[in-house]
Amino acid sequence: MKKLFFVLAALAAGMTCMAANVPAQGDDDKKAEKCILDQNVKIEINTIMPSNGPARQTIDGYTITIADGKVNADLPYFGEAYTAIVPGVDEPGIRFDDCPVEITVNKKKAKKGQYEWRFTAKSGTDDVQVYVTLWTSGEADVRCQPTSRSGISYRGTIITE
């Protein structure tokens, strides 16, 4: 009986210590929402979801940055191409280098704590429709629909610095 009491007391003490190290969720939510409202967002991708095939986890540090009316990204692509890719001209992945964009904010579909953006960007010779769903909790979904390839989605977290 003493062993059971000791084990339960140790677990309770451990949980109390772990809870003390967790930052207040409201602070992170406010930081993420400020980044979203400023349209100055950096998303670290952790899951890649091609339209055909299984989802893949990544630890390679892929990011997409949307700031000052421009988008920067170098994202991997797994999927089907509808036209031949020209080496040296077309990118094997989805790459945006300071590509100017005009973000359309969809306020009608968005739920509380959720923001939806849409823009078109150029990747090589491909026009890519990009749909970004952002949550104030710090989560983000990015859907890319190139004109000459099948679509792909990415899931990640908003980096607040």
CA dihedral for 124, 51, 119, 70, sign (positive or negative): negative
- Residue 84 phi/psi, 5-degree rounding, is -65, 140
Residue that is written with structure tokens 């989805």 in the block: 94
Per DSSP, the three-state class of 7 is helix
* % of the chain beyond a pLDDT of 90: 36
Q: What is the pLDDT of residues 44-103, one digit of tens each?
A: 999 999 998 899 999 888 999 999 889 999 899 888 888 777 776 666 788 899 888 988
CA dist 29 and 36 (Å) reads 10
The CATH number that domain 24-158 falls under is 2.40.128.410
DSSP state of 24: P
Q: What is the largest CA-CA distance in the chain?
A: 73
pLDDT at 127 over 50: yes
CA dist 11 and 130 (Å) reads 46
CA dist 52 and 145 (Å) reads 13
pLDDT at 12 over 60: no
Region 110-134: mean pLDDT is: 88
Average pLDDT, the chain: 81
CA dist 109 and 128 (Å) reads 22
- 128, 122 Cβ separation under 8 angstroms: yes
Region 131-145: mean pLDDT is: 94
